[in-house]
Amino acid sequence: MESRALGTQGLKVSAIGLGCMNLSLTYGTKPTEEAALAVLARAVELGVTFFDTAEVYGPFSNEKLVGQGLRRVRDRVVIATKFGFAVPADGGRPTGVDSRPEHIREVCDASLQRLGIETIDLFYQHRVDPKVPIEDVAGTVGDLVRQGKVRYFGLSEAGAANIERAHCVHPVSAVQSEYSLWWRAVEQAVLPLCRKLGIGFVPYSPLGRGFLTGSVAAPSERDFRRNMPRWQGEALESNLKLLAAFTALAATKNATPAQLALAWLLHQGQDIVPIPGTSKAHRLDENIGATAIRLSPDDIAAIEKAMPADAVQGERYDAAGRALLDS
């Protein structure tokens, strides 16, 4: 698989990474540890070098799983994890955000221990903490870089103003935010700023939380997507009509809708590295297949006509989720 640079500080990763959250927190049935480790092993076999986790996934258990699964290939992979939530010591639900410098340092040490590594390759602030100046966050991560505990600094779901302020204190190598044919708001301000500053962009939920795979029409009762406005009522009905047109277009390219959606993202620029997540090895193979798809300008136009940016209906998060986003 081709490699791509994230930022200008030297970080290079595979063109598609693996979002590991689904190996511990899934939309349906949680995979067994054996199945989860098999997905990690298959990803390495397919040439994936970029693996994304966080302390809050589990909480805590996902970092342990990723560390276990990648231990034998540590010298060949890039491991990204995140800080920024207030997670109870017993692993309960987060009680809010917390990016106080002392907490960032505590999370770093704990994540290193759970992952079983000496250095975190990419350390993201998971969500902006309005109570802590972003300059203090960047300065703290910069200290961790100088101490050898972290290699590169990233931000997740940060707005343009905070990205620029953080970058003035310590270089931001990557911004991770939701981006797909289902959610393109980052194209307005965040992505242009990242390109101006030489910051790489990592789309999470590049398949619209599974919607763009065409395999999920109605989430089950245990599925937290049921609480998201885009998956409800008239919004869902409207979005399914868009999906039907997009799926038909994918068939003309001899691709699955998931592959076409990822190929579209990969064609948005060499600074884009999507991290689709899956708990199934065959879906991993399908996703990686997107790297072989070549799209012409006419293909891009047809894709965006089938799934117009302003046609998708409904908010992407419920009110609680939206409250954590930086504007």
Q: How far apart are CA 54 and CA 56, in angstroms?
A: 5
Q: Which of 83-87, 199-203, 210-214 has the lowest mean pLDDT?
A: 210-214
- Which residues are paired to 174 by β-bridges? 154, 200
Residue 227 has a pLDDT of 81
pLDDT band at residue 226 using 50, 70 and 90 as cut-offs: confident
Residue 183: partners with Cβ closer than 8 Å, 6 or more residues away: 205, 208, 312, 316
Question: In this structure, is residue 259 part of a structural domain?
Answer: yes
Known catalytic residue at 27: no
Q: For 129-185, what is each residue's pLDDT tens digit?
A: 999 999 999 999 999 999 999 999 999 999 999 999 999 999 999 999 999 999 999
Q: Which of 207, 185, 316 is nearest to 264 (CA)?
A: 207
Residue 26: is its pLDDT beyond 70?
no
289-308 mean pLDDT: 97
How does DSSP classify residue 23?
A: G
Question: In this structure, is residue 152 part of a structural domain?
Answer: yes
Residue 52: partners with Cβ closer than 8 Å, 6 or more residues away: 17, 18, 19, 20, 21, 80, 81, 176, 202, 204, 275
Residue 14: is its pLDDT beyond 80?
yes
Residue 174: partners with Cβ closer than 8 Å, 6 or more residues away: 6, 7, 11, 80, 122, 124, 152, 154, 155, 199, 200, 201, 202, 273
- The sign of the CA dihedral 291, 292, 296, 300 is negative
Whether residue 313 contacts residue 237, with contact meaning beta carbons closer than 8 Å, is answered with no
- Which residues are paired to 82 by β-bridges? 124
Question: In this structure, is residue 127 part of a structural domain?
Answer: yes
Question: In this structure, is residue 286 part of a structural domain?
Answer: yes
Question: In this structure, is residue 230 part of a structural domain?
Answer: yes
Question: In this structure, is residue 270 part of a structural domain?
Answer: yes
Question: In this structure, is residue 327 part of a structural domain?
Answer: no
Q: How far apart are CA 194 and CA 214, in angstroms?
A: 31
Exposure of 159 by Cβ count < 10 A (0-12 exposed, 13-18 middle, 19+ buried)?
middle
Q: How far apart are CA 197 and CA 289, in angstroms?
A: 31
Catalytic residue among 27, 57, 204, 317: 57
Token digits of residue 192: 């242009």
Q: Which domain holds residue 308?
A: 3-322
Domain count across the chain: 1
Question: In this structure, is residue 306 part of a structural domain?
Answer: yes
CATH number at residue 29: 3.20.20.100
90-118 mean pLDDT: 96
Q: Which of 84, 81, 86 is nearest to 62 (CA)?
A: 81
